[in-house]
Amino acid sequence: MNKLQNEGLALLRRFGKAFNRADVEEIFACVNAVFVWIQAAGSEAPHGRIRPGAEELRQAMAGRAGVYRDVRFSETNLHFADNHIIGTFRATGSYVADGRALDVKGVDIYVLRDALIASKDVYWKQIT
């Protein structure tokens, strides 16, 4: 692994831990000022839902608690390509509204700029 990949890996680990704890302030420390989160689900076809900027990120993280419960990530892998990091994962948990199981395989495409995350583009495939 080269220096850029090591730095990207450290950044993604920090971001991932903050994301899993819903620690918005720590997430902000990992992303740049023009960060965009492109979520897998939403009404902005074909993208899902686009969340640009800090306030949108804050709202998205607050909203997750009302949608998903006990989310766990497994089967994670990272792949590096220039200023992109592609992460694959499986997420399990349940939906708050009705208790249905959440089981998805996904891909996150991260773009790095100036040693911070500029975007996170998420794709999901339903397992159950």
Residue boundaries of the structural domains of the chain: 3-126
8 Å CB contact between 11 and 83: no
Q: What is the architecture of the domain spanning 3-126?
A: Roll (3.10)
The C-alpha atoms of residue 76 and residue 12 are separated, in whole angstroms, by: 12
The C-alpha atoms of residue 90 and residue 103 are separated, in whole angstroms, by: 7
The C-alpha atoms of residue 52 and residue 70 are separated, in whole angstroms, by: 26
| C-alpha distance from residue 61 to each of 2, 3, 5, 115, 123 (Å) | 32, 31, 27, 23, 17
Query: Which of 19-28, 45-54, 59-68 holds the top average pLDDT?
Result: 19-28
Mean pLDDT across the stretch 74-95?
95
- pLDDT of res. 4: 79
Give 45's pLDDT tier (boundaries 50, 70, 90).
confident
Mean pLDDT across the stretch 66-79?
92
Give 24's pLDDT tier (boundaries 50, 70, 90).
very high
Give the up-direction half-sphere exposure of residue 8: CA atoms within 13 A in the CB hemisphere: 21
Report yes or no on whether pTM surpasses 0.85.
yes
- pLDDT of res. 70: 92
- pLDDT of res. 109: 97
Give 44's pLDDT tier (boundaries 50, 70, 90).
confident
